[in-house]
Amino acid sequence: MGTLGQSIRLLRRQNGWSQGDVAKRLDISIPAFSKIETGATDINLSRLEQISAVFGLSTVQLLSIGETRRDTVPDALAGIHQKLNERESEVIFLQKKVIALFEELRLSKHSA
């Protein structure tokens, strides 16, 4: 997967949960959780343990998801896996832009 945020997104999707579902379990806002998934915010140890518990994993298991996944992808699927990773990166980039634009809009409304 590459990043912790991408691993968290993968787990969320595998469980069929929305960002709102996980955010509620973590007792944080949806935008705050989105920033975790996109890597726009750093995760402290306490939050990491909380996220691990939500998915029923140990912290080590959560941190090793990307490594395990990379090791188990057959060579025949490597090209497809790479394309999916590229698309995922594009989505994350666009989400970061949306978050930045939202913050800019919010700040401009407050200063007006």
Kindly report the CATH number assigned to the domain that includes residue 50: 1.10.260.40
Say what the pLDDT of residue 1 is: 38
What are the angstrom distances between the C-alpha of 77 and each of 22, 61, 73, 84, 86?
30, 24, 7, 11, 14
Say what the pLDDT of residue 109 is: 85
Alpha helix segments (H runs only) across 15-77: 19-26, 30-38, 45-54, 59-63, 65-72
Q: Which residues of the chain have pLDDT under 50?
A: 1, 68-71
**Which single residue is written with the structure tokens 């709102």?**
20
Say what the pLDDT of residue 66 is: 66
CA–CA gap between residue 26 and residue 36 (Å, rounded): 12
CA–CA gap between residue 54 and residue 67 (Å, rounded): 20
**Which single residue is written with the structure tokens 């996944």?**
69
Q: Other C-beta atoms within 10 Å of 58: how many?
A: 12
What are the angstrom distances between the C-alpha of 46 and each of 42, 43, 52, 53?
12, 8, 10, 11
| Owning domain of residue 67 | 4-111
Q: How many domains does the chain have?
A: 1
Predicted structure pTM score = 0.59
CA–CA gap between residue 56 and residue 22 (Å, rounded): 13
